[in-house]
Amino acid sequence: MAGGVQVDQTGQAKRYDVFHTDCPARDMVDHVTSRWGIWVLISLRGGDLRFFELRDSIRGISEKMLSQTLRGLVEDGLVWRHVEPTTPPQVSYGLTEFGRDVGEPLTDLFDRITSKLAASGAVRPEPR
């Protein structure tokens, strides 16, 4: 697969060159497949979460990394952000339709891996 389709100003469709460093689709793929991007999309598949609920659902992520990851996913249109004007502000996140669409194969991948591990009886060592 060489790339996606982009419509230019003349209405003509042109292909994205995902292997070019300036391709906007490449940035989005980087955000989705980053160390934490996948976990954010998988965590939000169950429904909307507030910032701290999301942080608590993804063990090992710092608040700084969660903020940076969410910022990229919101800019890409995969995640929406809603701020309640309270003191302190309550910030909630959820998947957009596009985010659900992109996250579906990731969820399938995650489910396949975990079911395979469960079937094989693989045991993870306890954390120290």
- Write down the pTM of the prediction: 0.74
For residue 88, whether the previous peptide bond is cis, meaning omega lies within 30 degrees of 0, is yes
23-72 residue pLDDT tens: 888 888 888 888 899 999 999 999 999 999 999 999 999 999 999 999 99
Helix (H, G, I), strand (E, B) or coil at 2: coil
Torsion over CA: 104, 105, 107, 108 (sign)? positive
Residue 1: CA count within 13 A, CB half-sphere:
5
